[in-house]
Amino acid sequence: MKIRQLGTSGLEVSELGFGCMGLSHGYGPATNEKDAIAIIQKAYESGITFFDTAEVYGQGANEQLLGKALHGVRDKVIIATKFGFKNGRNTDGLNSRPERIRQVAENSLRYLQTDYIDLFYQHRVDPDVPIEDVAGTVKDLIAEGKVRHFGMSEAGVQSIRRAHAVQPVAALQSEYSMFWREPEKEIIPLLEELGIGFVPFSPLGKGFLTGKMNAETEFDKTDWRNVMPRFSKENREANQSIVDLVIKIAGEHNATPAQIALAWLLAQKPWIVPIPGTTKMARLEENIGGAYITLSNNDLVNINKALDSINLHGERYPASLAGLQGR
């Protein structure tokens, strides 16, 4: 697998990363430890060197899993984790006070069985803590050798600019896919201006772009797509046109819809590194195949023209989870 550089930070990673969240959190019951470790190790053996986790993915459970899986190859991988929620739960509100950031860093170092964090993201911007204080705290952690790079997640233009002025931001992680193109308006131009890498999460539209889901799909009761407006039965039915489009393009390239969705993202900018996640070996292999599909300029023009003509229905998050929106 090819290597990409996240902006001008010097941070080099595989062109596809692996999002570990779903192994412990968010999409139904946690995967058993043996199977979860096996899929993380398979991802590494397949050329993936960039692994994404967070305190909030099971209050450290996901970090512990990743620490066990990658302990023997720690110097050969890039591990990203995140701080920013009270008590390590995204239902308890935000907390990016300096003392909390330090507490999370120490916990993460222990859980990950490492003495440094490659990329430490603020999970969400905390309106009660000046972003300069957040960036300054991470700057201090970098000076102490506990962190190597600073990242932000779902941050808005002004927050990114202010943070970057204190401590250069190596990467922004936000949702971006054919199913959510909002970052194209202001965020991507800003990242290009400042030399910041972009790490799209949910690059497969939380599974919708795989073509394996429709209006009749039923989610596990613990799957948070149950409360996301865009995943209501009515909205899935209304948004089927984008799935039909991706299926059509996949057929033209002898690929799967998921592979086309990932290839499209990789073609947008050379400093974009998607982090698809999965709990299944077959899906991992399928996703990796997306890195080997090349879409021509003509393909991209036609795809974007078709995407522009589709009016998608439903908000990303319900009002009750407003704190997960970018600021």
Cβ atoms of 162 and 122 within 8 Å: the answer is no
The DSSP result for 95-124, as a single string, is: ---HHHHHHHHHHHHHHTT-S-EEEEEESS
For each of the domains in the chain, give its residue range(s) and CATH number, in order of start: 3-324 (3.20.20.100)
Q: Is the pTM of this model over 0.85?
A: yes
Q: Is residue 323 very low, low, confident or very high in pLDDT (cuts 50, 70, 90)?
A: low
Cβ atoms of 203 and 278 within 8 Å: the answer is no
Task: Report the percentage of the chain scoring pLDDT > 90.
Answer: 80
Judged against a pLDDT cut of 70, whether residue 326 lies above it is answered with no
Q: What is the pLDDT of residue 259?
A: 98
Task: Report the percentage of the chain scoring pLDDT > 70.
Answer: 98
Of 31, 20, 93, 84, nearest in space to 57 by CA: 20
Q: What is the pLDDT of residue 4?
A: 98
Q: What is the pLDDT of residue 28?
A: 74
Task: Give Cα 324 to chain centroid, integer Å.
Answer: 13
Q: What is the pLDDT of residue 22?
A: 92
Q: What is the pLDDT of residue 322?
A: 58
Q: What is the pLDDT of residue 90?
A: 84
Average pLDDT over residues 278-303: 96
Q: What is the pLDDT of residue 27?
A: 73
Average pLDDT over residues 280-306: 96
CA 114/CA 125 separation, integer angstroms: 26
Block residue for tokens 């964090």: 117
Of 245, 235, 250, nearest in space to 289 by CA: 250
Q: What are the CA-CA distances from residue 236 to residues 206, 251, 321 (Å)?
A: 12, 22, 20
The DSSP result for 197-216, as a single string, is: EEEEESTTTTTGGGT---TT
Average pLDDT over residues 75-100: 95
| Neighbouring C-alpha atoms within 13 Å toward the C-beta of 263 | 25
Q: What is the pLDDT of residue 320?
A: 66
Beta bridge mates, 152: 122, 172
Q: At what angle do helices 61-70 and 98-111 cross, to 10 degrees?
A: 40
Q: What is the pLDDT of residue 51?
A: 98
Of 63, 26, 43, nearest in space to 206 by CA: 26
CA 251/CA 260 separation, integer angstroms: 10
Look up residue 89 and give its two tokens: 């739960």
Q: What is the pLDDT of residue 324?
A: 62
The C-alpha R_g of the chain, in whole angstroms, comes to: 19
SS3 290: helix
- Neighbour-count burial of 193, counting CB atoms closer than 10 A to its CB (0-12 exposed, 13-18 middle, 19+ buried): exposed
Could you read off the pLDDT of 175-211 as tens digits, one per residue? 999 999 999 999 999 999 999 999 999 999 998 999 8
Average pLDDT over residues 62-79: 97
Could you read off the pLDDT of 126-166 as tens digits, one per residue? 999 999 999 999 999 999 999 999 999 999 999 999 999 99
CA 74/CA 66 separation, integer angstroms: 10
What does DSSP assign to residue 325? S
CA 17/CA 52 separation, integer angstroms: 7
Of 57, 111, 121, 176, which is the active-site residue? 57
Average pLDDT score over the chain: 94
Look up residue 160 and give its two tokens: 């990114």
Could you read off the pLDDT of 20-47 as tens digits, one per residue? 999 997 777 889 999 999 999 999 999 9
Q: At what angle do helices 157-166 and 131-143 cross, to 10 degrees?
A: 40
Block residue for tokens 């209304």: 238
Name the least confident of 85-94, 139-148, 216-225.
216-225
Q: What is the pLDDT of residue 44?
A: 98
Average pLDDT over residues 243-255: 95
Of 223, 162, 216, nearest in space to 194 by CA: 162
Could you read off the pLDDT of 202-211 as tens digits, one per residue? 999 998 999 8
57 is catalytic: yes
Task: Give Cα 219 to chain centroid, integer Å.
Answer: 21
